[in-house]
C-alpha cells in the first residue's frame, strides 16, 4: 500500500447554522481545507454524511458539493456508516489514495440537524437502532444509559462514584471546548451545573449527552509526504441489536477496529500520546479508551480521576472538547476528530489547549450504538518505532448471536436498566427499560411493569405479552402470584358453592 | 495497483417483493454470490443503496446487512451516488482491494420501492434534481424528455423518426428481458403496444421509462486471479443543474468516466464487444453508447436501426433487458449490470440470450440526471491487447457554468421542451417545460404560459415572474402585447374622458 498523508485541514464552527444549507457548510469546510493546502488541486471528492435526505432533504450530496465547489467534472462519492460516516469516508478515501488511483483527494463530512425539533432529530437518529429495540422504546440515550450502568457494574463503581466520574468527564470536555474556537459550547461548567441538570435517561444527565449540532469538517489526503501521516486505519462492526452482544460494558466493534489500525501502523496502545474518542455519551470516553487498549480494562475511570486525560495530563483525551462540547453533527464528527488531531500535531492551536506530546495520536469513531466503528492512527513521519504491533483486548465472535427466546416466562439477571424520561412518542414517561439475561443464554430487552428503581445484577422475572417483554422484581411478582392464587381459590370456592 | 478479479456473482429476481425488507433482498443476493464463489470467506462488506432511509426506513444498512448475513464483526460500509450507487460501491470496493487492504470483499447493492405509491417514489427520486429545477416542476422523466428532444435535434431526427428509434430500443430490451429469468418484465412488446402507451412526458412514453422495482445484486471481488477481471474503472460528475450544461444532447460525466476507465484498462472503444448501459430512458442507451465512444456521435440511432445492438448483433447492448426490462431498483442497477456482464462472460446464461463475443465488456451507470457516472471495463484475463488507450470524445469543462440571468425579459432559442402529463403536486397538468438559451450565454428552465406544442430551435420570449421563468412564442407574445397596448390606449382614452 502507498503511504497516505494529510495536507490541508479545515472546518466550520460547530453550532447552529439555521440560515445555511448542509451543502453550504460542507463547501465552507472544503474551501478552508483547500486554502490550508500546499495546492488547491484535487482529483476526487469524498463526502460523508449520515442522513442528509431526512435531516435536510438534500440528496445527491456528492454531486451537489462538487458542483458548488466549482469542481463539477471530477469524481465525487458519498460514504455512510451512521455516526461514523466522517471517519469511514476518510477510510474510503485513504484506500483510493493508497491504491494509487488518486494522488490528492478532498474529504468532507457534515451534518445539519438544529433546524428540526429535538423529537424529530431523536426519531431520525433512532433509525440506526435495531428494529425490535427501537420499537420497544429504546432511543440512543436509553441504550447508552444501559451500557453505562453495565460498565459501572463491571468496574465496581457505586452509583455515587459513577456520577462523580461522569461529571469529571463532562467538566473536562467543556473546559477543553471553551478553549476551542470551533466548539459549539465555549463555556465551562461546574459540578453544580452538572448535578442540577436533569436525567435524560438515568444514569445519564443532560450534560452526559452530546448536543444536536450543525457543522462540517474537511481535509486533503495526498500521496506526497507532508508532516502528518495516517499510519493505520481499521474498521469493525457488531450485532446491530445491543441485546445480542456477549458483553455490554465494552464495544467489540471498537476493539476489532483498534486491532486492525494498530496492526497496519505496526504500533501498540502504549505509543499513543493523545486521542480523540467518540464521547457521544460521557461514559463512552472511558469505555473507548479501554477498548483502544490505552487504559486498563475496568480501570479507565481512575485515569479520569487522576486528571491524566486533561489537556495538560499525560494522555489527553478529546482536547477538542469532544462530541460533548465541540458538538456532534453526526456525520461530521469522525472527520472533525481528524482535523483536531492534525491541528494538535502541527501546533496550530492556541497555547492553552496544546497537548504536550503530539507525535502519535488515535481517533475512534462510533457508528450507531457502536456497531460500525473506525479507528485511525496518525503520526509525524519519522517518529521512532516502538515495540511494534501489540493489542491484547479480548475480541468476541459477534457473528453467532442467539435469536430471542420464546418462552412465556422465566427468571433472569438484570444486566442493566434505565429510566428514560423523554421516551419516544407512544410510550409512557418515565419508561423503564432493562436488559435481562435468561438461563438459556439469551438476553432480552424488556420493559419494567412498574416504574421503580432496580439494581444491576438483581434477579427479575420476565414474561412476554404479544411482542413485548416485561420484567418485574420477583417480590412484586410473588405478591401478584399470591393475589392471583388467592383469587383462584375464591373462584374455586364460589364455583363449588354454585355447583352444589 | 493490484489487479482485481470477480469471483461469485448473484442477484434476486427483480420485480415486486412486497413481503420482504431491503435488507432481506440484499442478504439473498449476497448469499447467492457467496455460494457462487470459490470460497465463502470475505474480509469486508460494501453496500450500495440510493435512499433506503426514505424508501423503506432502513438506516445503518451496512451494519444491518453484515449482521443478518451472520458476519457482524467484519468491516461494512455504504456508498451512495444516487442511481449509480451500485456501480460506485463496486468502485470503492475495487480500490480497497487494489490498495492491498483487503483480499476478498463482498459487494451488495439494492433498493426497495414498489411498496410506495408512484407519486411518493417519484418525489423521492426527484430529490436528486437540482433545487431550482425541481421546484420548477421538473421530474426525472421531464428532464430526460428534454435531453431526448435535444439529442433528436442534434442528430437530425424528425419527430416520427425519433419515435421509431425509441420504439425499437424498447422492443429490443423487452425481448432481451423476456429471456432473462431475473428480469422484472418477461414479456415482449410490439409496435402497437408501444405506440398505444401514453406519453409520460412528451416525447417519452410509458415504454420509454424504466419501471419502479425491488431487487438486489451482489458479487465478490478478489485479488486472486479468476476468469473475469475489472481492468478499468472511471468516474465523472457534471453540474447538478441540467440547464447549466454546455450541451444537452450528450453527457459530460459519462465521457469523463469513460475516458478514465479506458485509460486505466489501456483500451479503446473498439475493444468493447458488448455493453450494459444505463437506459433509465430509452434514448439514454443511444446517448450512452455515443458517449462511450462505441458509436459515432449523432449516429448511434443508425446502429439501433441496423439491429447491431441486438443480442445476436455485432455489438449487443443490454442483453439483460437493461433498466427498461430487467427493472431499475435505483441503487442496485449499477451492480446488476456487472452481474449480467460476468454471467455473459462465463457463458452462464441460456443459449438464446448468450452474446457471441464475450471477452471484453463495458458497464455505464448514471447517477442522478447524469451528474455522477461510473464506467467499468471487464475482460477475461489474457484477452489480447488492442491498440491501447484511445478516446476522442470532446469533454467540456463543466465547472465554469454560468449563474442564472436576472434580466426581466428577453428573446432566446428553445433548446428543448417537454409536455409533462403527470407533473409533481401543485403544478397544472399538462406542464410544459422548456430549456431556453438566451443571448447572454445562459440557459433557463422556463414554463410555457400556454400548453401548446413547440419546435426545438424556435425563437421564444422569456420573462421572469418572481422566481419562475415563463416562455411564450413571440407571435403569442406580440398578440398579447398588441392586446395590452390596445387596452392601454382604451384606458388612456377613458382616463382622458374622465379628466375632462
Closest-CA residue to B173 (of B389, B29, B315, B325): B325
Query: To the nearest whole angstrom, how far is the Cα of B158 from the nearest Cα of chain A?
Result: 32
pLDDT tens across A345-389, in order?
999 999 999 999 999 999 999 999 999 999 999 999 999 999 999
**Chain A CA closest to residue B371:** A63
3-state DSSP: chain B helix, strand, coil percent, rounded to 5?
Answer: 35, 20, 40
CA-to-CA distance for A469 and A464, rounded, in angstroms? Answer: 4
Nearest-angstrom CA–CA distance, B310 and A46 = 38
Judging contacts by C-beta atoms under 8 Å, the chain B residues touching residue A41 are: none
Q: Pick from B42, B220, B74: which is nearest to A399 by CA? A: B74
Helix (H, G, I), strand (E, B) or coil at A299: coil
Task: Compute CA distances A363 → A272, A275, A294, B459, whole Å.
Answer: 10, 6, 12, 60
Report whether pLDDT(B141) > 90: yes
Q: What is the DSSP string of B117-143?
A: -HHHHHHHHHTTS-HHHHHTT--HHHH
B79 to A81: CB separation less than 8 angstroms, yes or no: no
Is B368 within 8 Å of A63 when comparing Cβ atoms?
yes
A366 with A283: CB under 8 angstroms?
no
Share of chain B above pLDDT 90, in %: 86
Which among A73, A95, A128 is the nearest to B96, CB-wise? A95
A277-288 residue pLDDT tens: 999 999 999 999
Size of interface A-B (CB pairs under 8 A): 204
**Phi-psi category of residue B137: left, alpha or beta, with phi > 0 → left and psi -120 to 50 → alpha:** left
- Alpha carbons B235 and B82: distance in angstroms, whole number: 13
Tell me the pLDDT band of A489, cut-offs 50, 70 and 90: confident
Q: Assign A452 to helix, strand or coil.
A: coil
Q: Which three cell numbers stand for residue B396?
A: 467540456
Rg (chain B; Cα; Å):
24
Say what the pTM is: 0.95
Q: Are B238 and B371 in contact (CB under 8 A)?
A: yes
Contacts of B276 (CB under 8 A, 6+ apart): B317, B318, B319, B320, B322, B337, B338, B340, B341, B361, B362, B363, B364
Contact A73 B127 (CB under 8 A): no
Average pLDDT over residues B74-99: 98
pLDDT of B406: 55
The C-alpha cell at A147 is 451500557
Rounded (5°) CA angle B378-B382-B383: 60
Q: CB A82 to CB B74 under 8 A?
A: no
> Looking at CA atoms only, how far is residue B237 from chain A in angstroms?
4
The CA distance from B71 to A256, in Å, is 13
Residues of B in contact with A237 (CB under 8 A): 62-63, 66-67, 71-76
Q: What is the mean pLDDT of residues A412-416?
A: 95
Query: Is omega for the bond preceding A203 within 30 degrees of 0, making it cis?
Result: yes
Query: Are A73 and B128 a contacting pair at CB < 8 A?
Result: no
Peptide bond into A430 cis (omega under 30): yes
Q: Nearest Cα to A150, choosing from A481, A484, A418?
A: A418
With CA atoms as reference, report the closest residue to A173 among A363, A355, A318.
Answer: A318
Scan for cell 412526458, then name that residue.
B201
Q: What was the pLDDT predicted at B402?
A: 63
Chain A contact set for B62 (CB, 8 A): 80-81, 237, 372
pLDDT computed for residue A458 by the predictor:
94
Q: Cβ contact (<8 Å) for A100 and B96?
A: no
Q: Place A390 in a pLDDT band, splitting at 50, 70 and 90.
A: very high
Say if the Cβ atoms of A63 and B82 lie within 8 Å.
Answer: yes
Residues B388-398 have pLDDT tens digits of 999 999 998 87
> What is the least distance, in Å, from the CA of B261 to any CA of chain A?
11
Confidence of residue B92 (pLDDT cuts 50, 70, 90): very high
CA distance A294 to chain B (A): 21
* Alpha-carbon gap, residue A236 to B209, rounded angstroms: 41
Tell me phi and psi for residue B305, to 5 degrees: -60, -40
Three-state DSSP state, B110: strand
Locate the DSSP E strands across A190-322. Answer: 199-202, 204-205, 215-222, 229-237, 274-276
Least Cα separation, residue B19 to chain A (angstroms): 16
Q: Do B239 and A72 touch (CB under 8 A)?
A: yes
pLDDT of residue B411: 87
Mean pLDDT of A217-221: 98
Name the residue facing B73 among A96, A129, A397 (closest C-beta): A397
pLDDT of residue B80: 98
CB–CB contact B371 A63 (8 Å): yes
**Residue B410: other Cβ atoms inside 10 A:** 16
A87 to chain B: closest CA residue: B77
- Partner residue facing A128 (CB), from B60, B256, B260: B60
Cα separation of A24 and A64, whole Å? 10
* B439 Cβ contact list (under 8 Å, min separation 6): B410, B411, B412
Half-sphere exposure of B400 (CA within 13 A, CB side): 3
* Whole-number pLDDT of residue A406: 55
Closest Cβ–Cβ partner in B57, B237, B400 for A127:
B57
* Rounded distance between C-alpha atoms, residue A152 and residue B476, angstroms: 79
Phi/psi for B429 (5° steps) reads -115, 135
Where does A99-181 have alpha helices with state H?
Answer: 118-126, 131-135, 140-155, 159-178
Number of H helices, E strands in chain A: 15, 16
pLDDT for B106 beyond 70: yes
> Residue A480 has what pLDDT?
78
- Cβ-count burial of A336 within 10 angstroms (0-12 exposed, 13-18 middle, 19+ buried)? buried
For A264, which residue in chain B has the nearest alpha carbon? B101
CB contact burial B65-96 (16+ within 10 A = b; e otherwise)? bbbbbebbbbbbbbbbbbbbbbbbbbbbbbbb
Indicate yes or no: CB of A73 within 8 angstroms of CB of B238: yes
pLDDT tens-digit map of A471-480: 988 887 777 7
Question: In this predicted model, what pLDDT tens digit does every residue of B423-470 receive, in sequence order?
Answer: 998 899 999 999 999 888 889 999 998 888 899 999 998 888 878 899
Q: Which of B77, B236, B252 sits opposite A81 (nearest CB)?
A: B77
Residues of B in contact with A76 (CB under 8 A): 81, 235, 237, 372
Task: Read off the C-alpha cell for A131.
Answer: 428494529
pLDDT in tens, A246-271: 899 999 999 999 999 999 999 999 99
From residue A385, alpha-carbon distances to A1, A212, A347 in Å are 19, 40, 22
C-alpha cell at B197: 402507451
Measure CB to CB from residue B53 to each of A53, A256, A371 and give the nearest one.
Answer: A53
Pairwise CA distance, residues B431 & B433, whole Å:
6
pLDDT at B338 over 90: yes
CA-based R_g, chain A, Å: 24
Q: Would you call A367 and B236 a contact, using CB atoms and an 8 Å cutoff? A: no
Q: Backbone phi, then psi, for A353, in 5-degree steps?
A: -115, 15
Euclidean distance between CA atoms A29 and A39, whole angstroms? 16
**The three three-digit cell numbers of residue B416, written as one number:** 428543448
Q: Measure in Å the smallest separation between the Cα of A164 and chain B Cα atoms.
A: 33
Q: Find the residue in B nearest to A100 (Cα).
A: B1
The residue among A350, A366, A400, A391 whose CA lies nearest residue A287 is A366
Q: What is the pLDDT of residue A482?
A: 64
A71, A74, A237: residue with CB nearest B76: A237
What is residue A403's predicted lDDT score, i.e. its pLDDT? 64
Q: Which residues of B touch A67 (CB under 8 A)?
A: 237, 239-241, 371
Contact A72 B371 (CB under 8 A): yes
Distance CA B255, CA B232 (A): 14
Distance to chain B for A265, nearest Cα, Å: 12
E strand residue ranges, A338-397: 360-365, 372-379
**DSSP helix/strand/coil, B441:** coil
Mean pLDDT for all residues in chain B: 94
- Cα distance from N-terminal residue to C-terminal residue, chain B: 91
Chain B residues closer than 8 Å to A99 by CB: 1-2, 95-96, 98-100
- Distance, in Å, from the CA atom of B186 to the CA atom of B482, rounded to the nearest integer, reads 57
**Gap from A253 CA to chain B (nearest CA, Å):** 6
Q: Nearest CB to B51: which of A44, A59, A401? A: A59
Mutate to test the interface with B, among A41, A53, A60 (most CBs of B within 10 A): A60
Amino acid at each position: 500500500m502507498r503511504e497516505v498523508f494529510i495536507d490541508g485541514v479545515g472546518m466550520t464552527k460547530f453550532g447552529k447554522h439555521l440560515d445555511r444549507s448542509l451543502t453550504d457548510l460542507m463547501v465552507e469546510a472544503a474551501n478552508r481545507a483547500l486554502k490550508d493546502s500546499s495546492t488547491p488541486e484535487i482529483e476526487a471528492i469524498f463526502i460523508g454524511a449520515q442522513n442528509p435526505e431526512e435531516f435536510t432533504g438534500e440528496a445527491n450530496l456528492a454531486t451537489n458539493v462538487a458542483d458548488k465547489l466549482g469542481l463539477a467534472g471530477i469524481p465525487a462519492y458519498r460514504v455512510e456508516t451512521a455516526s461514523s460516516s466522517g471517519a469511514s469516508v476518510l477510510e474510503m478515501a485513504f484506500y483510493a489514495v493508497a491504491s494509487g488511483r488518486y494522488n490528492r483527494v478532498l474529504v468532507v463530512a457534515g451534518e445539519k440537524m438544529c433546524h428540526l425539533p429535538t423529537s424529530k432529530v431523536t426519531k431520525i437518529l433512532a433509525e440506526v437502532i435495531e428494529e425490535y429495540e427501537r420499537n420497544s422504546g429504546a432511543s440512543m440515550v436509553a441504550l447508552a444509559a444501559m451500557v453505562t450502568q453495565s460498565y459501572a457494574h463491571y468496574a465496581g463503581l457505586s452509583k455515587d462514584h459513577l456520577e462523580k466520574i461522569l461529571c469529571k468527564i463532562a467538566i473536562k470536555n467543556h473546559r477543553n471546548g471553551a478553549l476551542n474556537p470551533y466548539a459549539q459550547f465555549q463555556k465551562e461548567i461546574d459540578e453544580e451545573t452538572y448535578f442540577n441538570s436533569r436525567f435524560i435517561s438515568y444514569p445519564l444527565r443532560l450534560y452526559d449527552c452530546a448536543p444536536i449540532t450543525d457543522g462540517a469538517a474537511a481535509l486533503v489526503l495526498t500521496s506526497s509526504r507532508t508532516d502528518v501521516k495516517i499510519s493505520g486505519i481499521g474498521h469493525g462492526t457488531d450485532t446491530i441489536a445491543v441485546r445480542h452482544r456477549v458483553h455490554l460494558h465494552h464495544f467489540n466493534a471498537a476493539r476489532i477496529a483498534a486491532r486492525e489500525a494498530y496492526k497496519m501502523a505496526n504500533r501498540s496502545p502504549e505509543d499513543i500520546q493523545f486521542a480523540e474518542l467518540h464521547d457521544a455519551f460521557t461514559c463512552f470516553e472511558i469505555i473507548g479508551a479501554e477498548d483502544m487498549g490505552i487504559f486498563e480494562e475496568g480501570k479507565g475511570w481512575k485515569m479520569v480521576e487522576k486528571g491524566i486525560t486533561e489537556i495538560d495530563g499525560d494522555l489527553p483525551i478529546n482536547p477538542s472538547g469532544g462530541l460533548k462540547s465541540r458538538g456532534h453533527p453526526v456525520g461530521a464528527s469522525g472527520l472533525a476528530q481528524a482535523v483536531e488531531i492534525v491541528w494538535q500535531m502541527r501546533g496550530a492551536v492556541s497555547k492553552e489547549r496544546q497537548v504536550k506530546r503530539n507525535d502519535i495520536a488515535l481517533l475512534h469513531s462510533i457508528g450507531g450504538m457502536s456497531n460500525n466503528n473506525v479507528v485511525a492512527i496518525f503520526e509525524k513521519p519519522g517518529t521512532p518505532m516502538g515495540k511494534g504491533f501489540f493489542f491484547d483486548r479480548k475480541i468476541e465472535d459477534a457473528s453467532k448471536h442467539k435469536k430471542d427466546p420464546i418462552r412465556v416466562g422465566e427468571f433472569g439477571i438484570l444486566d442493566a436498566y434505565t429510566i428514560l424520561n423523554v421516551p419516544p412518542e407512544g410510550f409512557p414517561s418515565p419508561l423503564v427499560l432493562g436488559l435481562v439475561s435468561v438461563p438459556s443464554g439469551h438476553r432480552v430487552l424488556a420493559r419494567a411493569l412498574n416504574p421503580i428503581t432496580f439494581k444491576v445484577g438483581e434477579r427479575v422475572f420476565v414474561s412476554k405479552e404479544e411482542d413485548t417483554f416485561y420484567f418485574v422484581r420477583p417480590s412484586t411478582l410473588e405478591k401478584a402470584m399470591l393475589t392471583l392464587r388467592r383469587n383462584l381459590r375464591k373462584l374455586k370456592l364460589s364455583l363449588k358453592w354454585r355447583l352444589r
